Amino acid sequence: MTYKIGLLIDEKRYEAIKNLPFATTLKSMFGGDIRVLEIEVDEETSRRILAEFPAARVDARGFLEDLPVAFKRELFNAVVSTGSVGREAFEKVFAKIDEIKQAAAKEKEYVPPPT
C-alpha cells in the first residue's frame, strides 16, 4: 500500500519548485493561499519513517501525519535539490536521519518558525 506525505507550499517554497515537473500537481488549500504537494510513499519507506518517529501516525486518508517539522523541512529541501518526489529524495533525507532526529527532539520544547 502507498501512503502520502503532504508538504505545505507557501509562496517562498513555490518559487523554489515552480519550474520542477511536479509543480503542476500542487493542490490548493485555504482559498489558494497555501498549496500542498502530496508525495507518495511506498510501504517500505513508510515503515522506516514510522519506526524512526514513534509519534508519527497514518491518518484515515492514508497520510503520514505528526511528523517532525525537521523531517518535513529536510524532505522539502531534498525534493528541491534532487528535483524528485521519489526514492532519490527519501535517500537524501535518510542520509541525514540522525541530524533530523536531534532537531526533532528539540521540537518538544520549541517548534522553529518557517525558514
Determine, yes or no, domain membership for 113. no
Q: Collapsing DSSP states into helix, strand and coil, what is residue 58?
A: strand
pLDDT digits (tens, 9 = 90+) for 49-106: 999 999 999 999 999 999 999 999 999 999 999 999 999 999 999 999 999 999 998 8
pLDDT digits (tens, 9 = 90+) for 2-54: 999 999 999 899 999 999 999 999 999 887 778 999 999 999 999 999 999 99
Q: How confident is the model at residue 112 (pLDDT cuts 50, 70, 90)?
A: low
Amino acid at 44: E
- Number of domains observed in the structure of the chain: 1
Determine, yes or no, domain membership for 31. yes
Instruction: Give me the domain span that covers residue 12.
Output: 3-106
DSSP, res 29: E
How far is it, in rounded angstroms, from Cα 53 to Cα 41? Answer: 15
Determine, yes or no, domain membership for 111. no
Determine, yes or no, domain membership for 112. no
